[in-house]
A and B are shown apart, each in its own frame.
Chain A
Amino acid sequence: MTFSTTEIALEVNDLEVSFVDSDGSLEVLDKISFSIERNAFVCIVGPSGGGKSTLLRAVAGLIQPTGGNVLFPGMAEDKAQTGLVFQKPNLLPWRTLRDNISLPLEIDQRPEAEISVLTQEMIRLVGLEGFEKAYPHELSGGMAQRVAIARCLVQNPEILLLDEPFGQLDALTRERMGDELLRIWNERRKTVLMVTHSISEAIFLADRVLVLTCRPARLIMDLPIELPRPRADAMRYLPEFTEAARLLHAQLKDTTVPACQL
């Protein structure tokens, strides 16, 4: 980790988000600050319902923060800076796999030829050749989530935001998708910010793991993961891995109860 020389891709300063509903104001994020180096893979863990998704949406610009700001140092303003992948694939059911992936380019009004080339490249990258004409209801959960990732990557965003993207998959598919994600990340270096509730998934994938508390969420831990890359399954049994898991688990256990029980 050479923080001094690497460029910062994302900077979150004193970010505050609160929602106003009938019961009054609900504070979700409480002065969260962190920054991410370019091309780093950072995971956020925290209790469910704690505001992790809110943080991601605020970074994506879908939620207006009540205080603080989100900066993308040294990036062109007009480019697609962030791409968001949701917990559910959220594909358009009336579009084929190919047309779901090409949607962002159509919205961006790129020329037809360019759309065709970029889309095909993405389909290859996520390993879905041969399924171009399939409709979303014909795809398995893992395949659909790959399409969602491809739809996000096709915009070539600077920062990839993943909101528990494998949360609805079974354990084995989930691990495979993790490997797949690292392979894609290797091929297309991107800054990644991913929310997950799996400690082991976070350690396996990330360079750094951030721990949020329960609502109102504060950042209480920023743990560097010192495992070499490329990551391999065997690393799950290294002492560094176990130690990181122990630290994160202890931290989460301390902060989860009792405020998160809603």
Chain B
Amino acid sequence: MKETPSSTIKIDFWQRLSRNRMLLTLLSVLLFLLIWQVLVSALNLPGFILPSPAEVGRKFLDVLRTGLLWRHFSATLGEILLGLLFGVSAATLLGYALSKSPLAERLLSPFLVGSQSIPMAAIAPLLVIWFGPGLLSKVLICSLTVFFPVLVNTLVGLRDVPPELREVMESLRASPAQTLRYLEIPAALPVFLGGLRVGASLSVIGAIVGELVASDRGLGFLINVGRGQYDTALVFVAVICLVILAASLYGFVLLLENRVLSWQTWRKEV
């Protein structure tokens, strides 16, 4: 770099680098791993306190090869997808119903807000007692976690449909089902997807909380096992998988938003 003949080329290089987001992300991850590795070597930390990236990598390949990782990863993924399916469906239906009935909303909202102030970790044991340590309790915990943000955003999205557009539908003699299809769904979609984005991230937390309480499979179970055996590298592998899972879900919803909201070209211009 020092030998760069002119400073313009140098500026050009940095400009191009700063524009390439993929490359930048890769670079920052590599830098992070490097610092991590150096830290572990320099401080001479034992593996059960902080394993080096190399150790975590070895562990990762190890559990990947034996099929252990996939078994637990797929269990957690299944819980999350089922949880999202039930949570989002229930929240959307209830949100639509509540948006049509202000009275019902006023009656129910103290319970909804109240239920939201209970930490999920506190009622997770209760759900495990009631529904057993199997799949059902995890799916329920996950659904409950997803439920609230999706419900609120469905409600807000439908509530915020401009009244003058409702009047247009009315003047065109549209049925309630047609108003839903042509006006309410497209109008509420941006806000709804915002709720789904939050819900998708939270769903991972819900599933893990359930698994940490009591389970015989899943990434949460893997974390428990790793902790019990002082196999900290295994814990790291599980955590990294969770991060990847949560990020993919988030990215998937973002992708969906870009597809569905392509008409909002003014959004991209900003």
Contacts of B162 in A (CB 8 A): 90
In the complex, the answer to whether B164 meets A92 with C-beta atoms within 8 Å is no
In the complex, the answer to whether B164 meets A103 with C-beta atoms within 8 Å is no
Give the shortest distance, in Å, between B31 (CB) and chain A (any CB).
42
Give the shortest distance, in Å, between A14 (CB) and chain B (any CB).
24
A106 in contact (CB, < 8 A): yes
In the complex, the answer to whether A83 meets B171 with C-beta atoms within 8 Å is yes
Contacts of A155 in B (CB 8 A): 172
Interface positions, chain A 138-185, Cβ under 8 Å from B, are: 155
B265 in contact (CB, < 8 A): yes
- A88 CA to B165 CA, complexed, in Å: 10
A93 in contact (CB, < 8 A): yes
Give the shortest distance, in Å, between B256 (CB) and chain A (any CB).
15
A94 in contact (CB, < 8 A): yes
In the complex, the answer to whether B170 meets A94 with C-beta atoms within 8 Å is no
B178 in contact (CB, < 8 A): yes
Give the shortest distance, in Å, between B121 (CB) and chain A (any CB).
40
- A82 CA to B171 CA, complexed, in Å: 8
Interface positions, chain B 176-190, Cβ under 8 Å from A, are: 178, 182-183, 186-187
Q: Which of A60, A83, A107 contacts B178 (CB 8 A)?
A: A107
In the complex, the answer to whether B164 meets A88 with C-beta atoms within 8 Å is yes
Interface positions, chain A 212-230, Cβ under 8 Å from B, are: none
Contacts of B164 in A (CB 8 A): 86, 88, 90
Residue from the set B172, B173, B263 with the largest chain A CB neighbour count within 10 Å: B172
B108 in contact (CB, < 8 A): no
Contacts of A88 in B (CB 8 A): 164
Q: Using A90-B164, A92-B165 as known contacts, say yes or no to A107 and B182 having CB atoms under 8 A apart.
A: yes
Give the shortest distance, in Å, between A167 (CB) and chain B (any CB).
14
A135 in contact (CB, < 8 A): yes
Q: Which of A82, A86, A90, A137 contacts B266 (CB 8 A)?
A: A137
In the complex, the answer to whether B186 meets A104 with C-beta atoms within 8 Å is no
- A80 CA to B173 CA, complexed, in Å: 9
Q: Using A92-B182, A107-B178 as known contacts, say yes or no to A62 and B170 having CB atoms under 8 A apart.
A: yes
- The contact string, 1 if C-beta is below 8 Å from chain B, for chain A 56-90, is 00001010000000000000000010111010101
- A29 CA to B169 CA, complexed, in Å: 25
Give the shortest distance, in Å, between B235 (CB) and chain A (any CB).
46
Sorted nearest first, the 9 A-B pairs with minimum C-beta distance are A84-B171, A94-B263, A94-B186, A107-B174, A90-B168, A104-B172, A90-B164, A107-B172, A107-B178
Residues in chain A within 8 A of chain B (CB atoms): 60, 62, 80, 82-84, 86, 88, 90, 92-95, 103-104, 106-107, 135, 137, 155
**A-B pairs with beta carbons under 8 Å apart, 30 shown:** A60-B171, A62-B167, A62-B171, A80-B173, A83-B171, A84-B171, A86-B164, A86-B167, A88-B164, A90-B168, A92-B165, A92-B183, A92-B186, A93-B263, A93-B264, A94-B187, A94-B263, A94-B264, A95-B263, A104-B172, A106-B182, A107-B169, A107-B172, A107-B174, A107-B178, A107-B182, A135-B263, A137-B265, A137-B266, A155-B172
